[in-house]
Structure 1
Amino acid sequence: MEIKIEDLLLEIAKLRKEIEKLKIENEQLKRENAMLKARLGMNSSNSSFPPSSDKFGKKKDKNRSLRKKSGKASGGQIGHKGSTLEKVDNPDFVIELPNEICPHCAANLKDVKIEEVKTRQVFDIPEIKINVTEYQAHLKTCPH
């Protein structure tokens, strides 16, 4: 089998054209890959996506605390004077909790004298209520 130079030159030209096409395709794929990687790395903090679209996983802490450990126990420290919410003299509601049955032996305590009354007050924020005002215009016809 004899190989001619002209055939080899034609083959080289074909391969060069194919190489050029592959180079162009490679550049397009590189651009598309970079775009997809950028889109994959997007989340609600670096795009207009809502937080609900964030993928599950460990979130990177943007602001790590600069606090150092003090060695003290957590909570109120020894010697610190605390403050508490004081009881009010006239509460809005009073609910009596009569003790009429002994919790140990189930004896009737209705006629037994009360020795002490212990109180505890709960401070609740009242429910917000909408006030509706109705205006009633009186329409009259002049007799003249």
Structure 2
Amino acid sequence: MKREEILTLYHSNPDSIASYIEDFEFRYKALEFRYKVLEFRYKVLESQNIEFRERISELESQVKFKDARIEALESQVKSKDARIEALESQAIEFQERINELESLLNQNIQSNKKPPSTGTFIEKKPKTGSSQEGSSKRPGGQKGHPGSTLNQVEDPDEIIFHRLHKCRCCGRNIEESEAIGYKTRQEFNIVVMRKVTEHRAEIKKCPYCNCKNKADFPKSITKPVQYGITVLTIAIYLRNYQLIPYNRIKNLYEDVFGFKISSDTII
């Protein structure tokens, strides 16, 4: 309502303008109350929005953690698959070797069962002096014999550098001088040692459900203490192929490898 209309209404009927003002004040208070309600709802929604954002951030963090866990599990699965393939390949090789040893053992048993020859007995002449006596052959490898020469390898297990400290001509220090070459000699040796491998299965408590988890040991590791496959393979080879008695095998393991082995393990 315009100012002129209000003045005209006031002069004609003063009570009507008072009623108009009361109505206006009521509508103003109603709008003010509605504004406060909307403001309160806005604050509630804003608080909920903050909670939702925090929850979304937490869920995103959990998703990233689970993705990383899935990748780690996939990597473990691939590693275990590769290990299983390697073990299967070793098992095939061991089975072939066992079959070969059993075949040789059966041949030895059959040879021992054959009766001695019934032919003419030929007396062996006792050897006197050197076995080379009366022979025109020179000692050592004969001409044309293929031999078995030990050759150097390209990838030795260990390299030991022998440094020069001073010149052998003038006696001056040459430690800082760069080497212009190397003269190589290789020594082949056998390393005999006991190797103890400790397997530790990880134990973790889930931070979400408080569940206690333990990692799995390899399928071949079934006891708190046991022999490895190499120990058993060598023992079976010595017993079944070389036909060495149990006690001598046990003494060999104790003297050379440093631990005792039972007869049940060798069987």
The two structures share one fold, judged by TM-score above 0.5 = no
Q: Which has the larger radius of gyration?
A: 2
- More helix, by proportion: 2
Interval containing the TM-score (normalised by the shorter chain): 0.3 to 0.5
Higher RCO, Cα 8 Å, sep 6+: 2
TM-score, scaled to structure 1: 0.39
TM-score, scaled to structure 2: 0.23
